Amino acid sequence: MTKVGSVALLVCVAVVLTMSLTPSAGAGKATSASGSWTWENTGFNPVDVGGGCQYFTGSEEATWTGTFRGTSHDDFAGIQTPDQSMGGALTVSFIGKVGHVRGRMFMHITYWSPITSLFMDGTWAIKGGSGGLTAVHGKGTWVSLVDATNTPLSAANYAGKVWTK
């Protein structure tokens, strides 16, 4: 290898190491996020799409406790298969606090419930915010809850990581 090639290689290695070891600007410190989420459906609009499948949309009003403390309006869409499995996504408009910071944030939540389970589960990701939550981002998972008689509840526990500036 030539001297110029060696220097170029060293510079590239230094740049890659610097980029991978330095936190991104405004990333802030990662903190654990956990708590519960309860909801009440306020609308459900099913449409039969053939083959025993049903597409649906709807909305819900929710309350969050734990790291996320506040309320949200959630719009969802999904599909239910002939065996009663279902999956889809929610768009969440949250108003409240994340940790000690107040503002509004928007989340994308996925869900899945196989026929073999009483539970729904999925992922959540913070997509943006305003007010004090302008720089917040995070992601994690959630799982729904059942009562003592194994009846599914409109409630879930969430966990993950949140970064605030």
Rg over CA atoms, the chain: 21
Which tokens hold the place of 135? 């720089």
Task: Give the predicted TM-score (pTM) of the model.
Answer: 0.79
Sorted by where each begins, the domain ranges of the chain are 26-164
Tokens 């610097």 belong to 18
Q: How many Å is the maximal CA-CA distance in the chain?
A: 74
- Amino acid in position 122: G
What does each C-alpha distance from 71 to 15, 39, 51, 92 come to in angstroms?
44, 9, 37, 10
Match domain 26-164 to its CATH number in 2.60.40.3880, 2.40.350.10, 3.10.580.10, 3.40.190.100: 2.40.350.10
> Within 10 A of 101 (CB to CB), how many other CB atoms are there?
18
pLDDT digit string (tens) for the chain, length 165 residues: 444 333 333 333 333 333 333 334 345 788 999 999 999 999 999 999 999 999 999 999 999 999 999 999 999 999 999 988 999 999 999 999 999 999 999 999 999 998 777 789 999 999 999 999 999 999 999 999 988 888 888 999 999 999 977
